[in-house]
Structure 1
């Protein structure tokens, strides 16, 4: 059994064999992964250990690893004022057969269960204290400093990338220039948040990004539940009311309405309506 997947194939760790990868991680970390605890996603795999910790495993092609490195979870450990699992250590290695790197980070167990999938179809039960913790953590994150650049969906976010993404879907006389860049999680969705105890996890892509990226991303993952999307906009209204937040909302809408849009995606119509409103707001300025 090989450790790698041919780069000519679509990589999906939900179906690819990874037994040798798991064996290597157990040997390197000197911990056993608990049978039956494996959670497999498209780009990552997670499992509980016999010492009550969690290991997150990811595979990336060389060309998806930027010059800043590939240690988001490790570097996020120094961030202050953010509810996140404590980081303990990692193992990283190069695949012998493919231009691929593997990485496994060990952290504390999550204090609660993931709220849901990346895109929710029904409203979760979240307390007012939960929303207070979300706001406190996102505000604390945005107030810090970093030289890292965020890589949402493994793409380094730049002004050019934002403009290209928005202009590829929306036409109009509006400016996409970003005025303020702040630290962001860059993959904020309901699969990376826990409840009832609040925490944010999966920090691989964090770094400097346009103000409002995280808020817009969470809103976009809520659009199938209108009341939840409205709550996100209310809680993060300072972001959404800013000019950069409006551009990031268009950026989020461009992902929903772009060339890979699914015709049955319930988020399509609310994304279209919001995009039209935002373009009107930006044109009036």
Structure 2
């Protein structure tokens, strides 16, 4: 859910921290506040004297829990992911703490193109040009070859969570590749596409990104069919089917916390379909 934190005090605290980060990075606000998933991030368009239009994104965490993969994802991508992968350019970082909470502000290039969907689970069909799909495939191919010690999905999580949430045996992954880790239409622009939100990228089961995009699309059948067509070589392979099982487990885990309950029936149907083909 893209919404402010439930406690108004947290909203005010984050907005104040965002203002301080803007001052530290030398930008002025020029757009409305945009909240991330469950109010965990706060972003806004800003103007920089050298870089012109930018995007200022603020992450927050308790001071004793700050750091780690999600904290450094954008900076790590700027160092390691080649420009052939279409993504925003990182211009600057600013870290600060108020003693209780830590904050990281990321100043990136402003992407003047709408995202494909307002939320990860799409409920309306999308019409995208053939060149959009080929450009996405090209970006993901370049990304898959990136060498990194970042991990997006671990075998230990698969072993524990797939049986628990799907009732299916946990796939034993033998082929891994670097993935964006959160590939859905709310992180893809309608032009390009540019791939947004790099906090969770890292090594994942082969086919993981294609599986994410497909499974998040199940409530829009025509779009899901298009995803399946464009990534058929991946999704129809044993590795791609294993990746789909893993993604279904992740989304069923999320649904157990109250997220996207209407996606649960097609998730269950997909697990049954894959189980019958194995």
Q: Normalized against structure 2, the TM-score is what?
A: 0.85
Which portions of structure 1, spanning 4 or more consecutive aligned residues, are displaced by more than 6 angstroms? Answer: none
Change (3 A) 1:191 1:263: closer
2:33 and 2:44 in contact (8 A); partners too: yes
- Which has the larger share of helix? 2
- What is the aligned partner in structure 2 of residue 196 from structure 1? 191
Secondary structure (helix, strand or coil) at the match of 2:178 reads strand
1:223 and 1:229 in contact (8 A); partners too: yes
- What is the aligned partner in structure 2 of residue 5 from structure 1? none
CA offset digits 1:198-255 (Å, max 9, x no partner): 1001101111111122111111211110111111122122221233322221122223
- What is the aligned partner in structure 2 of residue 241 from structure 1? 236
2:70 and 2:199 in contact (8 A); partners too: no
For the pair 1:82 / 2:77, whether they are aligned, the reply is: no
- What is the aligned partner in structure 1 of residue 126 from structure 2? 124
2:146 to 144, 155, 160: 144
Which shows bigger deviation, 256-265 or 132-141? 256-265
- What is the aligned partner in structure 1 of residue 114 from structure 2? 113
* Shift in Å, 1:179: 0.9
- What is the aligned partner in structure 2 of residue 163 from structure 1? 159
Distance in 2 (CA, whole Å) between partners of 1:85 and 1:205 is: 15
Change (3 A) 1:185 1:264: closer
For the pair 1:47 / 2:47, whether they are aligned, the reply is: no
Distance in 2 (CA, whole Å) between partners of 1:108 and 1:243 is: 38
| 1:206-245 matched pairs, under 5 angstroms | 206-245=201-240
1:111 and 1:198 in contact (8 A); partners too: no
Gaps of 5+ in 1: 1-9, 151-156
Distance in 2 (CA, whole Å) between partners of 1:138 and 1:55 is: 25
- What RMSD over aligned residues (CA atoms) do the two structures have, in Å? 2.5
1:211 and 1:245 in contact (8 A); partners too: yes
Distance in 1 (CA, whole Å) between partners of 2:260 and 2:33 is: 30
Secondary structure (helix, strand or coil) at the match of 1:141 reads helix
2:270 to 258, 270, 274: 274
| Count of paired positions | 262
Secondary structure (helix, strand or coil) at the match of 1:52 reads strand
Gaps of 5+ in 2: none
